[in-house]
Amino acid sequence: MADELFEKGLALLKDDNPLAALTCFEKAYSLKKTPALQSYLGFCIAAERGKITEALGLCNDALAHEPDNPVHYLNLGRTYLKADKKTTAIETLRKGLSFGENAEIHQLLENLGMRKKSIIPFLSRNNFLNKYLGLLLHRLKIR
């Protein structure tokens, strides 16, 4: 029963209906407490109720149980985005990619506008050398 509710919640979340997914995840979580349920429940709570502290607690707890699951990093990163912590979200998403490929993480990072590292790291990103070397290398399709 809990697994069916979880699958239904995932389908609803994929169809961009986090409110209905939240109810499925809450019912499933009351029946069976798994890290995957905690993670998705945390994200839905942040998205629909705005309870960021509670959501972060659930996502971090799921991450503590399964630290090598990229999906938990995805949900934690999305929760940080709901909390307007973009830098922390990007760091979390990148860390999630280190544990395995995840198309949703790649898509989210692409939507956020992931920047490449500056050409000369000890100079600021706005330094004219970094700026124009970056443009030049981009036009030459080297970078």
Q: Read off the pLDDT of residues 47-68 as tens digits, 9 standing for 90 and up.
A: 999 999 999 999 999 999 999 9
What is d(CA 54, CA 139) in angstroms, rounded to the nearest whole number? 46
Residue 23's pLDDT band (boundaries 50, 70, 90)? very high
Residue 27's pLDDT band (boundaries 50, 70, 90)? very high
Q: Read off the pLDDT of residues 65-116 as tens digits, 9 standing for 90 and up.
A: 999 999 999 999 999 999 999 989 999 999 999 998 999 999 999 888 767 7
Return the closest-CA partner of residue 99 out of 71, 68, 60: 68
- Helices 86-97, 70-82: crossing angle, 10 deg rounding: 170
The domain spans of the chain are 2-112, 116-143
Q: Specify the fold of 2-112.
A: 1.25.40
Q: Any alpha helices (H) in the chain, and if so which ranges?
A: 2-14, 18-31, 35-48, 52-65, 70-82, 86-97, 103-112, 128-139
- What is the percentage of the chain residues whose pLDDT exceeds 90? 81
